[in-house]
Structures are given as structure tokens and as C-alpha cells.
């Protein structure tokens, strides 16, 4: 049947007939051997069908063109912006939609349209950024559930900032291997803050104790996070901790006590201005005086120098096979080297010494408890 015949019948045809005509014309257009003039005429009629008052007609076009790479681009783009029943096929399937088209659909579309874009087989960095910035919660959840979506680190940071308070989003982010370390830390802080603000927690503990426990939990979570962070992500995580004010003396002590020496080296590079090679050299076999100069250059208080040196020496011995020890044993040695100093030391004020001992004893208790948990899990699994 010729294109001219379809043109003549459309004006007086029923909705069902127009749907049939739309599908037939789309099939004609997609024929690879169609002559140029015939293709132009067919495209013109198909373009007019975009204005058909019945969405069923436009739906017939969407079904025909949604999986084709040879459909008319302007028709596909128009159908993608149609009502959701029509746009669903195009938004979910068409390879002809450019990033600009998809971003426009995200910006001006409904939550369902955003969700369809987020669930596409291929979602680029710019489209993901648009969904994270403008999308409704359901669309963002669909994006995170899409393992093929490309999401930049900066987009993850914006997502934590924008929707980190939403429980569903937090859950998806925690399980997402693409999440950078600094975002994972920010998310842990968000979770801790949310727990702290729960009415039940406040009633049981009181505001002051709840905040103290939350702070301790955040520090411990930060240390655990370091163990799961790739070395190439260390600089970003350290910068994040600095900006938040979380790169504290207590945190540094915990990091070294836990044996996260590579991360400690990265911290010293960031704080001291020394090169990584120089820092590593001093940590591996530097003399106490040179190591003290490095710690001073990093701005670490004098009260931390002795325990840090003791811990580094202990971990050196462990690495060289001269000592079999874990965190509890290393921390115990740090405590033992501080306790005999008493209050007569000329180098460390008594208050600073007491504070350091108190911190180390808390860390030691945490390490013992963690070891106990691991032993129980090992026994249970045996």
C-alpha cells in the first residue's frame, strides 16, 4: 500500500485505523531499500502523526521506533517528551537519544520519566549527574541500582550532600562498590547523626552521652573505612577528613595503633609537605630524631611523638618477622612507654600525658573487644 493511500485515509480514519497506519508507515520507513523520495514523503507523514490527538497513535510510533537505530531522530526526540505512556518505550530503549536529550527529559520530565532514564542500559556521567542533581528519590534509587550507570566521584559527593538523609538512598550507597572512600565516610557520619537524633536514643542516653558515643563511633568507623580504601583514594579521603575537621590527633593515633601505616604515610605527606618517598623511608628505617622532625613538620603535638615512635617500631618488627603481635600488643607497648614517665617529665605536660594515656587505654579496650568478636566469629564458623 502506497504512502499516498495512507495520507488520504488518515483524515477520516478511526483511532484504530490511524494506529495501524502509523505502524505500517514506520515499517515502510525502516526498510533499508526505500528510495530517497519515498523516504522523505514517509517521514513527513510520520512527523504529522506526532500531532495526532490520540496517544494510542503516538504509542504505535514509539513501539515501532524504540528499538531502531535508523528511526527519524526528531520523531524519537519528540516521542521521548510525550506523556509517560508514550515516552516509556523511547526512554527505556532508544539508542538515538543523545545525552542532551536525556538530560532535557530528566529536567522537564516526571519522576517516572527520570526513573526510566536512570534504568537505561547505558547511562553516561553527564546524565547521571543530572539525575542526581534534579531527580526524585525513586529515580536516584534506580540509578544506584543500575550497575552499568557511570557515576563520577563528584556526583556521589553531591548525592550524599543532597539525599544522604534518605534511608533508602543510604542503604543503596552503602552497598555500592563505586562509592569513593570520602563519600563512604560522609555517609557513615550521616548515619551516626541520624541514630543520635532518634528520640529513643536521646531518651535512653541523654544528649551529651549520645553525642559522645556517636563521635567515638564515627572515629572507629573512619579507621575501619581506611582498611577498605584503595591507596589511590587516600589523598581524596585525607582532604575530605581535613575539610570536615576529622583528621584529629586521636584519629591519627588510632590509625597507627591499628597498623594502617600506608595511610599514616599519606597523612604525613599531606600535612608535612615531604615527598612520599622521603616519608616512607623515614617510617621504614628512620632514626628517632629524623622521625620526630617529620612528626613536628606534620604539626603533630609533642605528646604524640613517643607513642607514635613506639608503634612504628613495633609494626616494623612485625613486618620484618622479628615480632608476632597485633594491635592490642602494640597499643599495650605504647601505654607502657607513657606510664613510667609520670608527672615529672620535662618534655610533655602532665595533662597532655594523662590525655594520651586515657586515649590509648580506650583504644586498647576497643582493640581487645574487636579481637574477641573476631575469635567468636571464627569459633562459630568452624
Give DSSP secondary structure letters for 221-261. HHHHHHHTS-GGGHHHHHHHHHHHT---HHHHHHHHHTT-H
Does position 7 have pLDDT exceeding 70, yes or no? no
| Whole-number Å distance between alpha carbons of 97 and 103 | 10
pLDDT digits (tens, 9 = 90+) for 33-52: 888 888 898 899 899 899 88
Neighbours of 377 (CB within 10 A): 10
Q: Are 50 and 75 in contact (CB under 8 A)?
A: yes
Q: How far from each other are the two terminal CA atoms of the chain, in whole angstroms?
A: 75
Does position 345 have pLDDT exceeding 50, yes or no? no
pLDDT digits (tens, 9 = 90+) for 86-132: 999 999 999 999 999 999 999 998 999 999 999 999 999 999 999 99
Mean residue pLDDT across the chain: 86
pLDDT digits (tens, 9 = 90+) for 126-183: 999 999 999 999 999 999 999 999 999 999 999 998 998 888 998 899 889 899 988 8
Does position 84 have pLDDT exceeding 80, yes or no? yes
- Specify the pLDDT at position 117: 97
Those residues with Cβ within 8 angstroms of residue 77's Cβ, 6 or more apart along the chain or in another chain: 96, 97, 101
Those residues with Cβ within 8 angstroms of residue 119's Cβ, 6 or more apart along the chain or in another chain: 92, 142, 143, 145, 146
| Whole-number Å distance between alpha carbons of 272 and 280 | 13
Backbone angles phi, psi at 347, to 5 degrees: -105, -30
Range from 18-27, 239-248, 339-348 carrying the lowest mean pLDDT: 339-348
Residue 348 DSSP one-character state:
S
- Specify the pLDDT at position 373: 81
Amino acid at each position: 500500500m502506497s504512502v499516498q493511500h495512507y495520507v488520504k485515509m488518515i483524515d477520516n480514519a478511526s483511532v484504530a485505523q490511524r494506529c495501524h497506519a502509523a505502524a505500517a508507515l514506520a515499517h515502510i520507513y525502516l526498510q533499508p531499500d526505500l528510495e530517497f523520495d519515498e523516504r522523505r514523503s514517509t517521514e513527513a507523514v510520520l512527523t504529522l502523526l506526532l500531532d495526532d490527538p490520540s496517544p494510542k497513535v503516538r504509542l504505535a510510533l514509539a513501539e515501532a521506533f524504540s528499538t531502531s537505530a535508523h528511526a527519524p531522530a526528531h520523531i524519537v526526540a519528540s516521542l521521548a517528551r510525550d506523556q509517560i505512556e508514550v515516552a516509556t518505550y523511547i526512554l527505556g530503549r532508544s539508542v538515538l537519544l543523545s545525552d542532551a536529550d536525556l538530560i532535557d527529559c530528566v529536567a522537564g520530565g516526571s519522576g517516572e520519566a527520570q526513573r526510566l532514564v536512570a534504568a537505561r542500559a547505558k547511562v553516561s556521567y553527564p546524565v547521571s549527574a543530572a539525575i542526581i542533581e534534579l531527580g526524585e528519590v525513586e529515580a536516584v534509587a534506580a540509578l544506584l541500582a543500575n550497575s552499568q550507570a557511570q557515576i563520577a566521584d563528584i556526583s556521589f559527593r553531591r548525592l550524599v550532600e543532597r539525599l544522604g538523609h534518605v534511608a533508602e538512598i543510604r542503604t543503596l550507597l552503602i552497598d555500592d562498590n563505586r562509592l569513593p572512600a570520602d563519600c563512604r565516610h560522609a555517609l557513615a557520619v550521616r548515619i551516626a547523626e541520624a541514630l543520635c537524633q532518634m528520640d529513643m536514643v536521646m531518651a535512653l542516653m541523654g544528649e551529651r552521652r549520645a553525642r559522645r558515643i556517636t563521635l567515638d563511633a564515627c572515629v572507629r568507623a573512619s579507621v575501619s573505612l581506611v582498611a577498605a580504601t584503595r591507596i589511590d583514594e587516600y589523598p581524596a579521603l585525607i582532604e575530605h577528613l581535613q575539610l570536615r575537621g576529622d583528621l584529629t590527633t586521636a584519629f591519627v593515633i588510632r590509625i597507627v595503633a591499628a597498623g594502617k601505616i600506608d595511610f599514616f604515610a599519606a597523612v604525613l605527606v599531606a600535612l608535612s609537605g615531604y615527598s612520599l618517598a622521603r616519608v616512607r623511608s623515614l617510617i621504614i628505617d628512620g632514626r628517632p630524631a629524623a622521625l620526630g622532625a617529620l612528626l613536628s613538620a606534620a604539626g603533630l603535638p609533642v605528646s604524640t611523638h613517643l607513642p607514635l615512635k613506639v608503634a612504628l617500631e613495633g609494626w616494623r618488627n612485625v613486618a620484618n618477622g622479628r615480632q608476632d603481635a597485633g594491635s592490642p600488643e602494640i597499643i599495650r607497648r605504647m601505654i607502657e612507654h607513657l606510664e613510667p614517665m609520670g608527672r615529672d617529665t620535662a618534655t610533655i605536660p602532665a595533662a597532655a600525658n594523662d590525655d594520651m594515656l586515657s586515649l590509648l587505654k580506650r583504644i586498647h579496650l576497643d582493640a581487645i573487644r574487636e579481637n574477641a568478636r573476631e575469635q567468636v566469629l571464627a569459633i562459630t564458623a568452624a
